[in-house]
Amino acid sequence: MRNIGIAAKTSSPAALEYAAGVARDLRKRGFDVCFDDVTAAAMGKDAGHCVSRAALGSESELLITFGGDGTLLSVARHAPQNVPILGVNMGTLGFLTEIRLEEFPGLLDHVLDGHFTVEPRVTFVASVTGPERDDQQYRVLNDVAINKSALARIIEMKVSVAGLFVSNFRGDGLIVCTPTGSTAYNLSAGGPIVYPTMNAMVLTPICPHMISNRPLVLPDELDIAISIITPAEEQEIYVTLDGQEGMPISENDQVCIRKSNESILLIQSPDKNYFDVLRTKLKWGEG
């Protein structure tokens, strides 16, 4: 493990400064360090070698992110499945970035020596098909969300699972999430928390018109297809991937989601487990 990629939250001076210091130390120890171009631009002339954030994983044998869950997501969505990711939290504890700053130096030494534990996380492949689409596929670690614009009326969507018709859903939208993403947008929309290594996917309506439309937990080997019924001229509808990339869609398009063959490897903290993170983030047992 000689090539290390680093990304930092560019709106956080503390994250940028700490990342720059870690890079200097690693280079002194003989490691090759590469930043993503967004981080490098925020750091200035001392950043050194850099590539696009999408290409950072292919240039690295280890990825380190400094910031929050959003920073990790932006790197993890493009990372090869054999490259472990060490997410260091630079603010409040994240569901993905569970490594605290004070435990990072010691854990990094163990990682560089090859003594660490990873947890594989399922990813999805999403595509938007239609007469004006190029059949591009997108990889997501958290979720695929279909939303109406702020001023739009209720939208109607047809959902099929493994080719079988499920229902037409009317409401503000739909979320399809991985177990990892169950604690993100899905949780805010009233969806269930799913243990991150389960072989499952969750379909959660957003503010459904019918209260009987409830979240569904499905086996992750089943494909989901979502078609828009509401005419495009009536309102704007968008599909968003991991909350970071999106596009408008119409009744001519279909959103297809399936389990990817590639997983993401997240390096685990030796000092906490998933339930520790849940208790801290959700304040279980307080008050």
> In this structure, are 236 and 272 located in the same domain?
no
pLDDT tens-digit readout, 164-183: 999 999 999 999 999 999 99
Range of the domain at 150: 123-261
> In this structure, are 97 and 143 located in the same domain?
no
Q: What is the pLDDT of residue 134?
A: 84
Above pLDDT 70, what percent of the chain?
A: 98
Options 36, 69, 220, 253, the catalytic residue: 69
Is the model's pLDDT at 287 over the cut of 80?
A: no
Burial 124-157 (b: 16+ CB within 10 A, else e): bbbebebeeeeeeebbbbbbbbbbbeeeeeebbb
Q: Which one of 33-47, 92-106, 147-161, 212-226 scores highest in mean pLDDT?
A: 212-226
Quote the tokens at residue 93.
């504890």
Q: What is the pLDDT of residue 124?
A: 97
Instruction: List beta partners, residue 128.
Output: 255
> In this structure, are 14 and 113 located in the same domain?
yes
CA gap 66, 105 in Å, rounded: 13
Is residue 287 in a domain?
no
> In this structure, are 131 and 251 located in the same domain?
yes
User: In this structure, are residues 76 and 141 in contact, taking their beta carbons and an 8 Å threshold?
Assistant: yes
Work out how many domains the chain is built from and give that number: 2
> In this structure, are 24 and 153 located in the same domain?
no
Q: What is the pLDDT of residue 225?
A: 98
> In this structure, are 143 and 246 located in the same domain?
yes
Q: What is the pLDDT of residue 253?
A: 93
pLDDT tens-digit readout, 245-281: 999 999 999 999 999 999 999 999 988 889 999 998 8
- Is 143 catalytic? The answer is no
> In this structure, are 180 and 221 located in the same domain?
yes
Is the model's pLDDT at 93 over the cut of 80?
A: no
> In this structure, are 222 and 179 located in the same domain?
yes
Least confident of 46-50, 67-71, 78-82, 136-140: 46-50
> In this structure, are 165 and 245 located in the same domain?
yes
> In this structure, are 182 and 213 located in the same domain?
yes
Which CATH number is 149's domain given?
2.60.200.30
> In this structure, are 163 and 110 located in the same domain?
no
Overall average pLDDT of the 91-111 stretch: 90
Is residue 30 in a domain?
yes
Which CATH number is 62's domain given?
3.40.50.10330
Provide the 10 A C-beta neighbour count for residue 235. 14
